[in-house]
Chain A
Amino acid sequence: MATDVGGYGRSVKRKEDPRFIRGKGNYVDDLKLPGMLYMDIVRSPYAHAKITSIDASKALALPGVLAVITGKDLDAYKLAWMPTLMSDTQMVLPIDRVVYQAQEVAAVIATERYIAADGVALVEVDYEPLPPVVDPYKALDPSSPLVRPDHADKNTNHIWHWESGDKARTDQLFNEAEVVVKEHMYLPRIHVSSIETCGCVASFDRVSGKLTVWMTTQAPHAIRTVFSLVTAASAVGQIPEHKIRIISPDIGGGFGGKVPVYPGYVIATAASVLTGHPVKWIEDRSENLQADSFARDYHMDVELAGKRDGTITALRVKTLADHGSADAAANPSKFPAGLFNVCTGSYAMEAAHVEVDGVYTNKPPGGVAYRCSFRVTEAVHAIERIVDRMAQELKVDPAALRMKNFIPPEKFPYKSPTGWEYDSGNYAGALKLAMEKIGYADLRREQAEKRARGELMGIGICTFTEIVGAGPSNTFDILGIKMFDSAEIRVHPTGSAIVRIGVQSQGQGHETTFAQIVAEELGLPVDNIVVEHGDTDTAPYGLGTYASRSTPTAGAATAMAARKIREKAKAIAAHLLEASPDDIEWGNYQFQVKGAPTRSKTMADVAFAAYTNHPQGMEAGLEAVDYYDPPNLTFPFGAYICIVDIDRGTGEVKIRRFLAVDDCGNIINPMIVEGQIHGGLTMGMAPALLEAITYDENGNIQQGTFMDYLLPTSMETPAWETDKTCTPSPHHPFGAKGVGESATVGAPPAIANAVVDALSHLGVTHLDIPITPWKVHKILEEHGLAEV
């Protein structure tokens, strides 16, 4: 047996860590270039206002301030507006109107960071406040002010209507239903708040005409293409794509918040092109939290129909989606509501009908991402809450109701009522394991005893189905760019290799896991493989890392490229072994002659021969590129059980235990997968209990700093428990499915279900998240249960 190369299923320690634990990471703000200037941004105090004047004279008089850029300046170059990823438009800088609080109004360019900030304080802007549109329901009223009068073809704040499923059949099933349950659910705005904010260093070289931008981006290639297209339409003139280099260096967390193009990137780039100096722009936290894109903001009316025996027959959902002032979601172009219609979840029901209406309000772009950009979190919340509501109505155990309605394993591939084809699943297996492992029956007994004593304990279940790996090019594109992904592998003569991938890492450990794929497929030790990503001058084209797509797409491409190399290597091995290629097999990480395994060659032997002794007539070298277009999405799933205790004095919800059983198919690195799940659970707990962004009636954000927007700390976060089942994806080259956002999607309804379960005997049927102590305490007070 060959030695362990560190391939699939090994918890290989991370290759990126040696630099991070020494403080030697290369984050964007760490970069300093000669002659570099700094940019800082003037922002709007109003949610909706006319700009009557901008006076920059005092700022310009400050020594060190070189320029103040306004929307009028950009407009002269046709750069005041930019496209969003959903083919809407968004202001880079306003010409005469602001449409959300903290919107960029002007940019100050200075020789030093502190001087740029001083300059910002000296720019005088006069506003004439306009009535803001804050409530998305009122926004649809014909008397509402218009958020986007620039859309001359529209006289409404309504953006689009989208629907999916069979309306007639769904309505019929609801009419015939023995039991119908219904809840209004609001998933509030939340913000990803990666600990590193956004920023860039843009550097335009006037001699070569080359623009290099180091940027906190999750999708460098797409940015390069968009920049080239946007300059083509501007008065600057097109910067050809080969003269644009986007570098995404080490990124301090992304979670989807670093997919969009923010105005700051564009202004800094324009400033560098115009001054010929490198320009650095780094947001501070308040700017990041107040102005960058937000997630969720879905107002959902969810209905479930069924029979008295517990058979679920149909789902109906009507949704109002608050997109803020621009439809800037990071969805694939053909999916205005993302993949929200996966909301029939893990249950075999006959029909479903889902409607979503997008609405403009005077808020920063919403509906973008929070460790899930394609609306799967919303979908899972809707179905997992309403299934629990049905169990409550029928007075049956929520686990039993789920077991009765799961799509059975033999029904895969399963066609969902809204048109998705689930690749594989064993939902009952995962839930059964979770129930056994946590001791479900004992916990129900304990709950009954406690309830009799007046103590409040809840058990919440969530058995979610995820949908990731976007996506197959026949339906998935972003601004027309198909959502395949890529890998390029070069094996060096002495048996080491470099891998370059089209996706990029923001902490997921790609330098390690992608090396493991190559190690497994080529039998080269993982230590001998280096992974490069994030530099558009060297990496093959790809759509980037978000929505758990790296392993399903670029991971597949990496395996396929390696297999191309193995095919060629086999011919070289046959030549070296003086055997026919048909007699050579790959086993024990080496090529061996069938029936005579001692006659063998390693990949290192073959690599050396590929450059020193390749068969005549064959091309020398050993390398391959693969662009992988997935045949379908992958459908990871999980069964989560959450135990909560409620403090009757404070109303605080304490998570006593939380067990996550995940199934993401075959796993490359169990340590990294577990880490992703821990992080995802924490980002699921956060909106369930702590985080929400709200606005007052004037459109003022009420959680604009980390003092008010409460990220979980080590004190609230429980010691997560994890386990797994393994149902490989039948169509992925090594049976993987992707896992990054599963836990963020699955945790919130598990927690909400646990809290409602703890209070269900009081008649509580639903609580909107975040479930704050205040909300719970109010219920306790109403029922005379609050302890003083």
Chain B
Amino acid sequence: MTHVTLTINGEAHQAEVEPRLLLVHFIREVANLTGTHIGCDTTSCGACTVLINGTPAKSCTLLAVQVNGAEIQTVEGLEQNGQLHPIQQGFFEEHGLQCGFCTPGMMLVGKALLEQNPNPSEAEIRRAISGNLCRCTGYVNIVKAIDSAGKKMREPAATGAPTA
């Protein structure tokens, strides 16, 4: 057993874990944040994508101990003070999701892209999400969603947030 401390969405989570525990299982089962999903066992689908110190990573292929001490952001950390992140608004408004299973990973990749490249071309968006599989949407509206989020982030205007 190894002691692991991770800061997830700004909150510290500590646990004694087996060294073999995957990061995605730490997030889902130790921290109980089930928005991060699992879709494969070969690092192919990206459903498990989280941001580690701001960079997208597939949490199914990392051990929790490998990222001990890191800052992790998951889908649950996107909304701040009741205000949806522009990437969430983009997916909602552009119908960028259907079953929603790939969506957390897609949004985090989109957010990381926009932080690095605030005005990406369609080709750049497609390249950024090329490690994330979506079986439902055909990607067209995901590309639009990220593009629309980019516009919102460039000119922050008040937009209505959908409520549960």
**Which residues of A pack against B, CB within 8 Å?**
13-14, 16-25, 27, 29-30, 32, 113-114, 192-197, 250-253, 255, 284-286, 506-509, 671-672, 674-675, 678-683, 705-707, 711, 713-715, 717, 719-720
Residues of A within 8 A of B99 (CB): 194-196, 250-253, 506-507
Count of CB-CB pairs between chains A and B under 8 Å: 185
Cα-based distance from A714 to B105 in the complex (angstroms): 14
Quick check: which of B51-59, B61-69, B72-80, B150-158 contacts chain A, the rest being far away? Answer: B72-80
Supplied contacts A22-B88, A711-B133, A714-B125, 8 more A-B pairs, CB within 8 Å: A18-B92, A27-B34, A195-B99, A252-B39, A255-B135, A507-B98, A672-B95, A706-B44
Q: In the complex, are the beta carbons of B141 and A678 less than 8 A apart?
A: yes
The verdict on A20 contacting B103 (CB below 8 Å), with A195-B134, A195-B135, A705-B40 known, is: yes
Residues of B within 8 A of A707 (CB): 42, 44
B49 within 8 A of A: no
Q: In the complex, are the beta carbons of B97 and A21 less than 8 A apart?
A: yes
B23 within 8 A of A: no
The verdict on A195 contacting B34 (CB below 8 Å), with A20-B100, A285-B42, A678-B137 known, is: no
The verdict on A719 contacting B76 (CB below 8 Å), with A20-B97, A25-B100, A250-B100 known, is: no
Q: In the complex, are the beta carbons of A675 and B95 less than 8 A apart?
A: yes
Residues of A within 8 A of B134 (CB): 195
Closest residue of chain B to A287 (Cβ to Cβ) is: B41
Closest residue of chain A to B39 (Cβ to Cβ) is: A195
Residues of B within 8 A of A24 (CB): 35, 76, 164
Q: In the complex, are the beta carbons of A252 and B101 less than 8 A apart?
A: yes
Pick from B20, B40, B100, B163: contact of A706, CB below 8 A: B40
Mask of B30-46 contacts with A, CB within 8 angstroms, 1/0: 00111111111110110
**Which residues of B pack against A, CB within 8 Å?**
18, 20-21, 25, 28-29, 32-42, 44-45, 47, 74-76, 78-79, 84, 88, 91-93, 95, 97-104, 107, 122, 125-127, 129-143, 162-164
Cα-based distance from A253 to B134 in the complex (angstroms): 10
Q: In the complex, are the beta carbons of B130 and A714 less than 8 A apart?
A: yes
Listed by A's residue number, 28 A-B pairs whose Cβ atoms lie within 8 Å are A13-B92, A14-B92, A17-B91, A18-B162, A21-B91, A21-B107, A22-B75, A22-B88, A23-B76, A27-B101, A114-B18, A193-B135, A194-B101, A195-B102, A196-B37, A250-B99, A285-B45, A506-B99, A507-B98, A675-B137, A678-B139, A678-B140, A678-B141, A679-B137, A705-B41, A706-B42, A707-B44, A717-B139
Residues of B within 8 A of A194 (CB): 99, 101, 135
Residues of A within 8 A of B143 (CB): 714, 719
Residues of B within 8 A of A192 (CB): 135
| 7 tightest Cβ-Cβ pairs between the two chains A and B | A23-B35, A507-B99, A252-B101, A20-B100, A678-B138, A23-B75, A706-B44
The verdict on A252 contacting B37 (CB below 8 Å), with A507-B99, A714-B142 known, is: yes
Q: In the complex, are the beta carbons of A675 and B98 less than 8 A apart?
A: yes
Q: In the complex, are the beta carbons of B41 and A720 less than 8 A apart?
A: no
Residues of B within 8 A of A17 (CB): 91-92, 97, 100, 162
Closest residue of chain B to A678 (Cβ to Cβ) is: B138
Closest residue of chain B to A22 (Cβ to Cβ) is: B79
Q: In the complex, are the beta carbons of B140 and A719 less than 8 A apart?
A: yes
Q: In the complex, are the beta carbons of A509 and B98 less than 8 A apart?
A: yes
Residues of A within 8 A of B34 (CB): 23, 27, 29-30
Cα-based distance from A658 to B47 in the complex (angstroms): 28
Q: In the complex, are the beta carbons of B163 and A18 less than 8 A apart?
A: yes
Pick from B76, B84, B130, B136: contact of A713, CB below 8 A: B130
